[in-house]
Amino acid sequence: MEREIIPIRSMTSLKNPEALLSSNKHLQPDAYKWCWLNGSFIESANASVSVFDRGYLYGDGLFETIRIHGGKLFEWQRHWERLKSGCEGLTIRLDIAEEALKTNILDLVQKNQLNECMARIQISRGPGPRGYLPPENAQATWVITLHSAPELPLKQPQSWRVILSRMRMPSHWECAEWKTSNKLFQTFVKQEAKEAHADDAIILNESGHITELSCANLFFVMSDFLLTPPLGSGILPGTTRALILDIAAQAGVDCKEAACDMETLHHARSVFATLTTFGMIHIDSIQGQRFDLHPLEQTIYKAYLKQLNATK
């Protein structure tokens, strides 16, 4: 006997008739009204990509999150270079020019009548047949969405409580240098932190060296210099990390990139994290060890805000 195939939409309506009426709407409360999808402005609630898109099926894609401040892109060049490097590394065809992508983001910001927000650029390899092997001549899927930007305090950075994750990041993992769409590892780390009533967790690599948090790079304020894990330890080359290294150099602060372990914490005066959304985060405690805000952190944070405001 031939088996009847019930359409997914019908299955949904059998369980919840009201779901059929709203099945084409997407609930994304932190996204602004308009987004950009493959060259067109579309209402975010109605934007869709194929269920056969490899970004959805395998996490086969990349993303970048950029702060818009005063209607302008902050640290655009670093984000673009990382996105371009990721496309080259994953062999995803970069079929849009830098200035065109930049213009589309700014046009989307204007269409949503915004000055302050976060722009997320999402690129996937696009639809393809089942199987891990990437299809030849795939047509990439491009999406730009806008989201609310956290307000940055003017006097000192926000503080986080951090634990040590049980997860381990392999230092030889080549994809660590790109912001890939497959973030299941980081999802586990963030869930682990939440269960411990913490904001995030430190990730070690297979050698027991500190790498980063789930979403941020780390810096340690030592006696007379800054210390940060090197790129070869398995960390994402953060755009804000690179900016802070520049700021430290301009201020005459010695900054070393060297392997760190948990013993480093016993010698650190203070610890802070860097990420696009918040700029800098003071780490208030790690596994119960407390850290006071150090004057050098304050100096660097003020310099960061000065750089940010210079984009207006």
- What are the structural domain ranges in the chain? 25-147, 158-309
C-alpha 312/C-alpha 306 separation (Å) is 11
Q: Which of 121, 124, 178 is nearest to 145 (CA)?
A: 121
Rounded average pLDDT over 193-215 = 97
Contact between residue 178 and residue 86 where contact means Cβ atoms under 8 Å apart: yes
Distance of alpha carbon 116 from alpha carbon 119, whole angstroms: 10
Q: Per residue in 124-161, pLDDT tens?
A: 999 999 999 999 889 999 999 999 999 999 899 999 99
Q: Architecture of 158-309 per CATH? A: Alpha-Beta Barrel (3.20)
The arithmetic mean of pLDDT across residues 228-244, rounded, is 96
- Residues of 244-259 as b/e, b for ≥16 C-beta within 10 angstroms? bbebbeeeebebeeeb
Each residue's pLDDT tens digit, 247-259: 999 999 999 999 9
* Arithmetic mean of pLDDT over the chain: 90
DSSP calls for 110-168: HHTT-SSEEEEEEEE--B--SSSSPPTT---EEEEEEEPPPPPPSSS-EEEEEEEEEEE
213-231 as b/e, with b when 16 or more CB fall inside 10 Å? bbbbbbbbbbeeebbbbeb
**What is the per-residue pLDDT for 21?**
40
pLDDT for the residue 311 = 81
pLDDT tens for each residue of 162-187 = 999 999 999 988 888 899 999 999 99
Fold of the 25-147 domain: D-amino Acid Aminotransferase; Chain A, domain 1 (3.30.470)
DSSP 213-236: -SS-EEEEE-SSSEEE--GGGT--
Q: What's the confidence (pLDDT) of residue 137?
A: 87
pLDDT of 312 above 80 = no
Residues 56-94: pLDDT tens digits? 999 999 999 999 999 999 999 999 999 999 999 999 999
SS3 annotation, 47-105: CCCCCCEHHHHHCCEEEEEEEEECCEECCHHHHHHHHHHHHHHHCCCCCCCHHHHHHHH
Question: Given the structure tokens 């210390």, which residue do they identify?
Answer: 227
